[in-house]
Amino acid sequence: MKIKSFVIFLMMSGIALSGTATQPMGEYPLFHHDLVIKAANETLKLARIDIFAEVLYDDLQFVKTAEDFEANYELSAVLMQGNDQVDGKIWKETVVVDSYDRTNSRGDISLTYASFNDVEPGKYKVILSYEDLESSQTYSIEQKIKVEDFSKPAISGSSITFARKVEIENNQIKSIFPEVTNTYKGLGAPSYAYFEVYNPKGYQTGQVS
């Protein structure tokens, strides 16, 4: 399995990106998300679906504790193929800030991550649900995706991960800090675009569509 990773620096601002997510009409999104499809760690025949989600501090319900302000929320992700559930995850996040002003910040975010591993090629639907555990506010969104068999084409590529920061050490990518974006939120600037290129047969030249 031969994989090459690429990072492109993007000098762009206020970009609105297209997608296939279905957002409830007239409903304010309580979180923003990205789904990134890439090859599984061990084989190009299977895929990994990375889920990135972010919540603005201003959209969280904070409560006063003895020393700080604390907010708690829960996210769930369900992977569906037709009427069958293939996989599912539920996780909780806690956000703690030291001042009341930060509880109303629209510049600070809580970024969270989960993934579905070793997913077979095919068409799927991902259902993401959010609940603020203090206010009981909820929000759900679903997105249709197609998972490819990356071992079949001579050259193929993963989805693009937009990032606000990339750390490189010894000419290798050490870590990526995602920039979650969608048609509602757009893409900030400056940003990076990270993607993987798969070359199972070791060709010297090729084209990724």
| 29 Cβ contact partners less than 8 Å away, ≥ 6 residues apart | 23, 139, 141, 184, 185
Domain contains 68: yes
Domain contains 77: yes
Domain count of the fold of the chain:
1
Domain contains 209: no
Domain contains 37: yes
Q: What domain range is 116 assigned to?
A: 3-198
Domain contains 16: yes
Consecutive sets of 10 residues in the chain, 209 residues long: mean pLDDT of each? 52 41 64 92 93 95 96 98 97 97 93 95 97 96 95 87 78 74 57 83 63
Residue 145: which CATH number?
A: 2.60.40.10
Domain contains 94: yes
Domain contains 29: yes
Domain contains 206: no
What was the pLDDT predicted at 79?
Answer: 98
